C-alpha cells in the first residue's frame, strides 16, 4: 500500500476501475496517514472520517455499476473556505465557529458529481488573509519539508497535505498568490485559473474581484484532471464566464517548439534568494531546450502592484466582512448590554489581528474623502497593470517568473513585520490584479533541501497553454524526485 504514495490521480483511477483497490481501502489508508502525521503538520482543521468512508463506499458501488467519474473514489482535501452542506465551515476564524452551511458551493457540487471523497477541511490563514498559514484560529500549519518553517499561505494546509501525502490532491483559493506561493514552498503543482473560469458561488469571499479557485496536485496531468472537474460556467455566479471548457488533459503531450516565452525584467531583481535565482536560470535553459525562445519583456507597472493590491484587497475585505456581526450565525460573545455592544464584542473577539488590520485599512481607503485618492486611483492603476500583460502577450506565448522570492521561511520570522510578509507575494499579486491564469511547478531545491517553484503565466482563459508548457517543463527539467522525510 505504501506504493500508493508514488501514484497520481490518473494512475489510481485506473487501479480503482480495474478493481485492484477499493475506494474504501484507499480512504482508510489516507485517514490512517493523517492520524499518523498530521499531529506534527496540522494541515487539517477537521477530518471528516465517517463522511469520507460513506462517500468512498458509494464510489465503490458506482464503480461496480460501471460508472467512471473523473474523480470517482479519489480522496481529496478541501480548504475550509467553501460552503459544504452539513459540514462546519470556518475560514479558520473564530467568528464562524459552529457555522454549518445549508448548501454546497458550486465547486463542492461539481466534485460530488465527479464522485470525489471528502477527507476533511484544510487549514488556512484566517479568511485567506496571509502568506504563511500562521493567522489561523486553529493553529499554525507546518511545512512537511521542515517543521520549523511555514508552508506558505493562505492555502498552506492544502499545499502541505498534498506534499505530505495526506490526500491525493486538494482544492485551495488564490487572491494574491495563495495557491501558487504555497505550492512552490511545498514542492507541488498549484494553478490559479483565469478570473471567471471556476465558479465562486459558495466561496466565502475575501476580495471578490480577485478571488479564484484552483487545485493542488502532485503533477501537471493531475492538475489538468482537476481543472476538467471544476471549470465551467455557472449561472448562479455573476462573474462566471460562459465559455466552453476544453479537455485540459489533451494539452499534456504537446510540445512548445517555436513558442516565445517572456522573461519580465522587473521580476529578476535584487533580493531574490541566490538558490532561486540559479534555479530560474536553469528553468530558462530548460524552456529553450524544449525548442522555445526566451525573450526579455517589460511589465512596467509591476512596481505599483503591491500598493494597488493592498488597497483593493482590504477595501473589498472590509465590505465583505461587514456581514459577520454575531446575529444570524457563528460566534457571539455573552454579556452584551445592547446591540452595538454585541457588534463590538463579536468582531473584537471573533476576528484575529491580521483580519482586523486589513478591515481597518480597507475601511479607511473607502471612507469619505479618501475613496478617490485610494480605491479609485488603485483601480485605475490596476487597469494599467492589466494592459501591461495584454501588450506582453502580443510578444510572447507565455511568461516565466519565479513564484516566490524566497524559499519557506521560519515560523514567526515575519509575523511582527507585515510589510515583509506582504512582500512574499510580490511575484504572484499582479496575476490576480490582471485576472490572468498562473501555475507554479516544482523547479528544484535550495542547498538546504527546500522546494523552489517556477511560475508560468498566460493570457485570459489560456489554462490549456499553461498545462502545455508546465507539463513539457516537468518532463524535460529532470527535477529530482524527493518526498519530505516525515
- Verify whether residue 178 is a known catalytic residue: yes
Q: Which of 22, 79, 93, 440 is catalytic?
A: 79
Q: Which of 178, 240, 424, 440 is catalytic?
A: 178
- Verify whether residue 440 is a known catalytic residue: no
- Verify whether residue 298 is a known catalytic residue: no
Q: Which of 23, 42, 154, 170 is catalytic?
A: 154
Closest CA to 135 of 94, 179, 86: 94
Q: If you search the block for the grid coordinates 462573474, which residue do you land on?
A: 239
Active site residues: 79, 154, 178
Amino acid at each position: 500500500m505504501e506504493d500508493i504514495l508514488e501514484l497520481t490521480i490518473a494512475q489510481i483511477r485506473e487501479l480503482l476501475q480495474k478493481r485492484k483497490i477499493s475506494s474504501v481501502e484507499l480512504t482508510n489508508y489516507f485517514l490512517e496517514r493523517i492520524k499518523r502525521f498530521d499531529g506534527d503538520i496540522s494541515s487539517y482543521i477537521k477530518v471528516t472520517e465517517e463522511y469520507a468512508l460513506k462517500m468512498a463506499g458509494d464510489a465503490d458501488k458506482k464503480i461496480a455499476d460501471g460508472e467512471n467519474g473523473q474523480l470517482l473514489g479519489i480522496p481529496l482535501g478541501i480548504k475550509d473556505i467553501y460552503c459544504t452542506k452539513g459540514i462546519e465551515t470556518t475560514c479558520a476564524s473564530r467568528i464562524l465557529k459552529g457555522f454549518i452551511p445549508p448548501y454546497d458551493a458550486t465547486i463542492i457540487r461539481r466534485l460530488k458529481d465527479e464522485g470525489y471523497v471528502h477527507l476533511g477541511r484544510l487549514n488556512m490563514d484566517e479568511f485567506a488573509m496571509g502568506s504563511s498559514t500562521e493567522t489561523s484560529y486553529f493553529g499554525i500549519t507546518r511545512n512537511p519539508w521542515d517543521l520549523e518553517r511555514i508552508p506558505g499561505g493562505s492555502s498552506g494546509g492544502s499545499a502541505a497535505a498534498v506534499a505530505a501525502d495526506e490526500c491525493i490532491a486538494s482544492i485551495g483559493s488564490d487572491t494574491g498568490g495563495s495557491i501558487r506561493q504555497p505550492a512552490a514552498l511545498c514542492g507541488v503543482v498549484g494553478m490559479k485559473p483565469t478570473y471567471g473560469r471556476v465558479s465562486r458561488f459558495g466561496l466565502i469571499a475575501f476580495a471578490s474581484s480577485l478571488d479564484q479557485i484552483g487545485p493542488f496536485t502532485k503533477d501537471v496531468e493531475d492538475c489538468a484532471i482537476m481543472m476538467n472537474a471544476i471549470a465551467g460556467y455557472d449561472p448562479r455566479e455573476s462573474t462566471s464566464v460562459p465559455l466552453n471548457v476544453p479537455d485540459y488533459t489533451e494539452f499534456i503531450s504537446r510540445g512548445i517548439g517555436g513558442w516565445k516565452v517572456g522573461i519580465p525584467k522587473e521580476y529578476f531583481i535584487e533580493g531574490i534568494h541566490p538558490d532561486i535565482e540559479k534555479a530560474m536560470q536553469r528553468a530558462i535553459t530548460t524552456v529553450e531546450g524544449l525548442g522555445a525562445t526566451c525573450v526579455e519583456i517589460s511589465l512596467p507597472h509591476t512596481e505599483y502592484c503591491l500598493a494597488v493590491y493592498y488597497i483593493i484587497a482590504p477595501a473589498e475585505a472590509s465590505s465583505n466582512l461587514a456581514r459577520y456581526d454575531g446575529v444570524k450565525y457563528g460566534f457571539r460573545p455573552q454579556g452584551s448590554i445592547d446591540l452595538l455592544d454585541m457588534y463590538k464584542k463579536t468582531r473584537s473577539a471573533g476576528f484575529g489581528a491580521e483580519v482586523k488590520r486589513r478591515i481597518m485599512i480597507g475601511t479607511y481607503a473607502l471612507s469619505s474623502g479618501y475613496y478617490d485618492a485610494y480605491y479609485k486611483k488603485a483601480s485605475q492603476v490596476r487597469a494599467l497593470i492589466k494592459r501591461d500583460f495584454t501588450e506582453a502577450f502580443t510578444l510572447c506565448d507565455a511568461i516565466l517568473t519565479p513564484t516566490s522570492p524566497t524559499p519557506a521561511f521560519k515560523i514567526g520570522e515575519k509575523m511582527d513585520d507585515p510589510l515583509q510578509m506582504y512582500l512574499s507575494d510580490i511575484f504572484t499579486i499582479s496575476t490576480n490584479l490582471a485576472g490572468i491564469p498562473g501555475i507554479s511547478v516544482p523547479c528544484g531545491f535550495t542547498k538546504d533541501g527546500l522546494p523552489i517553484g517556477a511560475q508560468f503565466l498566460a493570457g485570459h482563459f489560456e489554462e490549456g497553454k499553461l498545462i502545455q508548457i508546465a507539463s513539457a517543463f516537468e518532463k524535460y527539467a529532470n527535477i529530482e524526485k524527493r518526498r519530505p522525510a516525515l
